[in-house]
Amino acid sequence: MSKNILWIAILALLVSCQDKIVSESSTTTTSEQATKAPAASETPKTSSMQESAKDTAVVNKAAADKAAADKAAADKVAADKAAADKAAADKVAADKAAADKAAADNKKVVAPVIQGKQPIKQQPNPAPSEIMLKADSGMTLAKANGLTKKCKSCHATDKDKVGPSFKKIQAAYGSANALTAVFESGFAVESRKVAMADAKWKKKAKTMTSQYKNLIQKQVKKGKLTYKEMAEAIFAK
Ligand code: HEC
């Protein structure tokens, strides 16, 4: 009997102990849950971290984009500058080539009329006849030589022969247009500037009158030349 009581007592103790263990384990579970609770709250924390990471990535991307845009802008400025520099250099080269060509043309006295485009200072001290030539038409030295071929038996460029030099005639008339006007009006002795300025030449006016009729007036009427061309030919020499 006492043995039974002992067993009961042991059983009771066991049961009470188990209760305690269960209760403790439940406490543990609660405390574990309590420990886990903050872990659960980690989820939002983690997502907030992810978000902030995302933000950082966005910011970084924006910065990278801006840097790329800045670089592109800088590249464009550099490219524009290079293009502008090249254009300027090309223009200078082209201007120089044009100036060189003009200078070469001037030397040949075959200069095309480039009025207003060429600064006068680019032509160092051009002879007065060259200025007149350019102001008039495209008379070339070769053409002038052809037109004055028959005049040369009595006229030279720089010295007097049977008639006054072409340089003297140029000085007396000043321009091919002035001489053209006198040729056109019939070349009356009173209109001739050289003859009217120097009695020596006036005495020989008749010689030139017959030359004018044969070599100039008749040829113009035949359409072989114009008074203007004849005058320009004298001014080209
Ligand atoms: C046979 C000789 C002779 C020939 C050829 C001749 N001339 Fe003359 N020329 C003279 C003499 C002389 C004078 C000076 C008299 C005078 O001025 O009218 C003169 C004067 C001139 C003058 C200056 C006129 C003045 O007094 O202002 C002109 C311009 C001129 N000649 C143009 C020509 C032309 C152009 C030719 C050729 C198409 C030519 N002559 C052929 C003898 C000639």
For residue range 216-230, list pLDDT tens digits in order. Answer: 999 999 999 999 999
- What per-residue confidence (pLDDT) applies to 138? 80
- The 3 state secondary structure assigned to the chain is CHHHHHHHHHHHHHHHHHHHHHHHHHHHHHHHHHHHHHHHHHHHHHHHHHHHHHHHHHHHHHHHHHHHHHHHHHHHHHHHHHHHHHHHHHHHHHHHHHHHHHHHHHHHCCCCCCCCCCCHHHCCCCCHHHHHHHHCCCCCHHHHHHHCHHHHHCCCCCCCCCCCCHHHHHHHHCCHHHHHHHHHCCCCHHHCHHHHHCHHHHCCHHHHHHHHHHHHHHHHHCCCCCHHHHHHHHHHC
Which range scores top for mean pLDDT: 30-44, 89-103, 213-227? Answer: 213-227
Predicted pLDDT at 203: 98
Ligand 1 atom nearest to CA at 153: 5
pLDDT digits (tens, 9 = 90+) for 113-163: 555 555 555 555 555 545 445 445 689 999 999 999 999 999 999 999 999
Mean pLDDT of 188-194: 98
Residue 210 clears pLDDT 80, i.e. is over it? yes
**Which pLDDT score, from 0 to 100, does residue 34 have?**
40
Local confidence band at 74 (pLDDT 50, 70, 90 cut-offs): low
The mean pLDDT of 98-117, rounded to a whole number, is 52
Percent of the chain with pLDDT over 90: 41
- The Cα–Cα gap between 100 and 88 comes to 18
Q: Report the separation in Å between the CA atom of 110 and the middle of ligand 1, taken as the mean of its atom positions.
A: 25
Q: Determine the residue of 149, 152, 155 to mutate for testing ligand 1's pocket, defined as the one with the most ligand atoms within 8 A of the Cβ atom.
A: 155
pLDDT band at 184 (very low <50, low <70, confident <90, very high): very high
